[in-house]
Structure 1
Amino acid sequence: GKQQYQDHKYLKAIESFQSIVFNHPGAAVVDSAQYYLGLSYFGNKEYALAGVEFNRLLLNYPSSAYAENAQFMKAVCFFEGTPRDYALDQSELQKAIRQFEEFIIDHPDSDLLPDAQAYLNKAKERLARKYYEAGIVYKRLHAYKSAKIYFQKVVDDFTNTPYGALATYEIADAAFKMHKYDEAARLFANFAVVFPKHEKVAEARRHEVEAAFRAAKVAYDNGKYSDAASRFEKFLEKYPDSKKANDARKYLEKLKQELPVASSDESQSGS
């Protein structure tokens, strides 16, 4: 059986190992046969069947010398059995993530640890992309609340993947698109601090400035002149050299003329 496996004659190897497992369950080499049966199915790209055999080894021979490898390969089977297209069902990938995490906890000194961590990172990145792309779809439909849910999922569960930073940026952009300018300015600023070397930092800084300016302008347009004046003054303190600085100064000049009247109107409406 082993020779057939090494020669990549997986179907013949499967028959040989099955014969040992089913006809000689008490043999000393049965755990070895069980393990290689799983490997043979795996080599034949029958990942679901391979996973079943590795799981049987873990259940029936937990003290086997092959148990550690079987646990690792069981996780690999879930990973390899997942469609590569992130748009398709990725439930097996979620199982793979749990299996690799359990392996890392159970075998912190294993020689397979680097491989398990590498698989785990790949699995998380693929799943992160699925949620991220779902968020992008909703964003294109202008369904920003729904988009934020998916982007937040990426940030919460897959922040260390490349999509963690992208999702963080998109959450800020969604707030901007929903005209939540104070929130957007804060989130864009946080993005630049948390991901200072990211390619979107310059863009985030520009949007931060624009959001802060728009928040002040909204206050002005709504007749909240005291609030608007305070906001424009803070804007100039924080962004004195921005492209919006001159516009902010013009609004402040207008407010100097309008503020006394506005203050009187505000006090009358308050009484």
Structure 2
Amino acid sequence: MRTLSFLLLMSVLFISCRSNDLIRPGDTIEVAFEKAMNQYREGDYPEAAQAFETVVSIGRGTDIGQEAQYYLAESYYNDRRYLLAASEYERYAQFYPNSFRREVVDFKRAECYYFLSPRYRLDQSYTRRAIENLRLFNSRFPDSEYAEKSAQYIIELREKLARKKYEAANFYKRTSRYEAAAIYYDLVIDDYPETEWAERSLAEQMEAYILYAENSVPERQEERFRLALESYNTYMQLFPRGEYRSRMEELFDRAQDGLDGIAGNIRPSTSSTQ
């Protein structure tokens, strides 16, 4: 019975404390902001966000309104509601472009899109937006304490975009659409040359051209075997000690044998009339 009474008393006290943190009609903007800050400090970010929204709506143009705008974004950020956080950080930057908080606001806005970036198989709109915002941040604050982290984020996001294109190329290759595969491998090589997927793409592209040649009509085989050799030459220039060098040597021999067969009027194996 005493335990039940104690729990009831604590519940009443808890409700009373929470009630004291609610913004009421007649509260001054200072009181409303302090109530919002109390909820923020307690880690009650959803309630804090609602409270800061109220303060922002009544305090626009004041110093307290500016503070509330920042902590509104922070509340969404800490609650992992990143799309809302990014929007509020952007609003802060628009309203207060010369604020001493501009650096951290711009970084966290970009970081929100980084957190929203999904796994590589899904739509990469947020990934591209993150890269755009991170690059803008780096150009605006090159000496920032966040510059190294920002650069690392960009590397990670570009690896993801490169892999998405690489996997698309693999799909075309698996389904015998060799020309499309070669084009997509080329996009990886041209757009993301610093990623691990560029080296892989050159190896896969060379094999795609060989398969394309082997499954082509005789009059188109030579040019496609030569495209394979171009991939080999590019690989050797870019990755002379690369991970896939031995495979490239094997593919080189295969392409060269194909060309030798054409020169000697020995037709390589064909299975279609592409």
Q: SS of the residue aligned with 1:74?
A: helix
Task: Choose the corresponding residue for 1:216, options 249, 257, 260.
Answer: 260
Aligned length: 222
Q: Given that residues 41 and 49 in structure 1 are in contact (C-alpha distance below 8 angstroms), is that contact kept between their aligned partners in structure 2?
A: yes
Query: Gaps spanning 5+ residues in structure 2: where?
Result: 1-35, 214-223, 268-274
1:171–1:31 Cα change, 3 Å: farther
Query: What is the Cα deviation at residue 119 of structure 1?
Result: 1.0
Q: Aligned equivalents of 1:197 and 1:7: distance in 2?
A: 56
Q: TM-score, normalised by structure 2?
A: 0.75
Q: Identify the residue that residue 26 of structure 1 maps to in structure 2.
A: 61
Residue 26 (structure 2) aligns with: none
Normalised TM-score (structure 1): 0.76
**In structure 2, what is the Cα distance between the partners aligned to 1:82 and 1:217?**
49
Moved more, 17-26 or 153-162: 17-26
Hey, which bits of structure 1, 4+ residues long, moved more than 6 A? none
Task: Give 1:43's aligned amino acid.
Answer: N
1:170-205 deviation digits (Å, cap 9, x = unpaired) = 222221111222221232233133113332111011
Q: Distance in 2 between matches of 1:125 and 1:97?
A: 11
The aligned runs of 1:1-271 (5 Å cut-off) are: 1-2=36-37, 4-84=39-119, 86-179=120-213, 180-221=224-265
Query: Secondary structure of the residue that 2:126 maps to in structure 1?
Result: helix
The one-letter code matched in structure 2 to 1:147 is A
Structure 1 residue 37 displacement after superposition: 1.4
TM-fit CA distance, 1:48: 1.2
Preserved CA contact (<8 Å) 2:206 2:251:
no
Contact 1:79/1:96 (CA < 8 Å) preserved in 2? Answer: yes
